[in-house]
Amino acid sequence: MSNLLHFSEHTLQEIALVFMATIYFLRVRWLLKWTAAKERQPATGMGDTNPKKGSRYSLANILMPWVMESTRTKPLMYLQFVLFHLGVVASIGLSFIIPYAPGLLKSTTVQGILQFCIGAAFVVGIMRIIRRVSNVYVRAISSPDDYFSLILLTAWFGFAFYSVPNDASQGEGILLTYFFVTAFFLMYVPFSKISHYLYYPMTRHYLGKTLGRRGVFPLRRSPAYGNK
Amino acid sequence: MAKIEAPELTGKIITPKVKTGASKDLKVFLAKPELMTKVSFPSEKPADWKEKFIENFGVILNKYKSVRVFLDICVRCGACTDKCHFYLGTGDPRNMPVYRQELMRTVYRKYFTTGGKLFGSLGAAQEITDELLDEWMTYFYQCSECRRCSVFCPYGIDTAEITMAARELLDSIGMGSKYNLEIVNKAETLGNNLGMPGPAIRNTLDFVEEDIKEKSNVDVKLPMDVEGADILFVTPSADFFASPHIESLAGYAKVFHQAGASWTMSSYASEGGNFGMFIGNYNHMKAINARIWKAARELKVKRVIVGECGHAWRVLYAFSNSLNGPFDFLDSRYRVPQHICEYTLDLIKRGALKFDKTANDQFSVTYHDSCNVARATRMGETPGDQFTIPREIIRTVCNKFVDMDADTIGDRTFCCGGGGGTLTDELIDIRVKGAMPRMQALKRVKDSHNVNFFALICAICKAQFTKVFPYYGIDMEEVGGVHQLVSNAIILGAKEGI
Ligand code: SF4
Ligand code: SF4
Ligand code: SF4
Say how far apart CA B141 and CA B138 lie, in whole Å: 6
Contact A222, B92 (CB under 8 A): no
Task: Quick: pLDDT tens for B29-77.
Answer: 999 999 999 999 999 999 999 999 999 999 999 888 889 889 988 989 9
The conformation of residue B28, written as its DSSP 8-state character, comes to P
Q: Does residue B21 sit at the A interface (CB-CB below 8 Å)?
A: no
Q: Which strands sit side by side in the sheet containing B303-306, from one edge to the other? A: B263-264, B231-234, B303-306, B338-339
For A77, what's the count of Cα atoms within 13 Å in the CB-facing half-sphere? 17
pLDDT in the model for residue B148: 95
Distance, C-alpha B415 to centroid of its chain: 9
Contact B401, B391 (CB under 8 A): yes
Residue window 119-178, chain A: list those with CB within 8 Å of chain B: 131, 135-138, 140-146
Measure the N-to-C terminal CA separation of chain B; round to a whole number of Å: 56
The conformation of residue B244, written as its DSSP 8-state character, comes to T
For residue B426, the CA-to-ligand 3 centroid distance in Å is 18
Q: Where are the domains of chain B?
A: 33-183, 185-402+451-489
Ligand 2 pocket check for B76: Cβ under 6 Å: yes
pLDDT in the model for residue B494: 62
Contact B57, B107 (CB under 8 A): yes
- Which ligand number lies closest to the CA of residue B422? 3
Nearest residue, CB atoms, A46 vs list B18, B378, B382 = B382
pLDDT in the model for residue B114: 84
* Domains of chain A (ranges, CATH numbers): 3-28+69-190 (1.20.950.20)
Which of B72, B76, B150, B158, when mutated, tests ligand 2's pocket best, judged by the most ligand atoms within 8 Å of its CB?
B76
ipTM (interface predicted TM): 0.77
Per-residue pLDDT at A215 exceeds 80: no
Nearest residue, CB atoms, B124 vs list A140, A144, A216 = A144
Question: Does A223 sit within 8 Å of B154, measured CB to CB?
Answer: no
Say how far apart CA B234 and CA B340 lie, in whole Å: 10
- Number of Cβ within 10 Å of residue A31's Cβ equals 17
Residues of B in contact with A135 (CB under 8 A): 78
Per-residue pLDDT at A221 exceeds 70: no
The conformation of residue B16, written as its DSSP 8-state character, comes to P
> B33-183: which CATH number, 1.20.1250, 3.40.50, 1.10.1060, 2.70.50?
1.10.1060
pLDDT in the model for residue A198: 75
Say how far apart CA A74 and CA A80 lie, in whole Å: 10
**Closest approach of B17 to chain A, Cα-based (Å):** 8
Question: Does B72 sit within 8 Å of A146, measured CB to CB?
Answer: no
Question: Does A142 sit within 8 Å of B387, measured CB to CB?
Answer: no
Among chain A residues, CA nearest to B124: A143
Q: Which of A39, A67, A143 to mutate to test the interface with B (most CBs of B within 10 A)?
A: A143
B40: amino acid identity, one letter: S
For chain A, count helices (H), then strands (E): 10, 0
Say how far apart CA A153 and CA A192 lie, in whole Å: 12
pLDDT in the model for residue A73: 82
Q: Does residue A200 sit at the B interface (CB-CB below 8 Å)?
A: yes
Task: Quick: pLDDT tens for B222-232.
Answer: 999 999 999 99
pLDDT in the model for residue B1: 53
* Average pLDDT of chain B to the nearest whole number: 95
- Number of Cβ within 10 Å of residue B33's Cβ equals 13
Among A38-42, B398-402, B456-460, B485-489, name the one with the lowest average pLDDT: A38-42
Q: What residues are paired with B339 via a beta bridge?
A: B306
Task: Quick: pLDDT tens for A54-76.
Answer: 899 999 988 998 887 778 888 99
B58: amino acid identity, one letter: G
When pLDDT is cut at 50, 70 and 90, the band that residue A228 belongs to is low
Nearest residue, CB atoms, B383 vs list A142, A199, A219 = A219
Q: Does residue B381 sit at the A interface (CB-CB below 8 Å)?
A: yes
Ligand 3 pocket check for B458: Cβ under 6 Å: yes
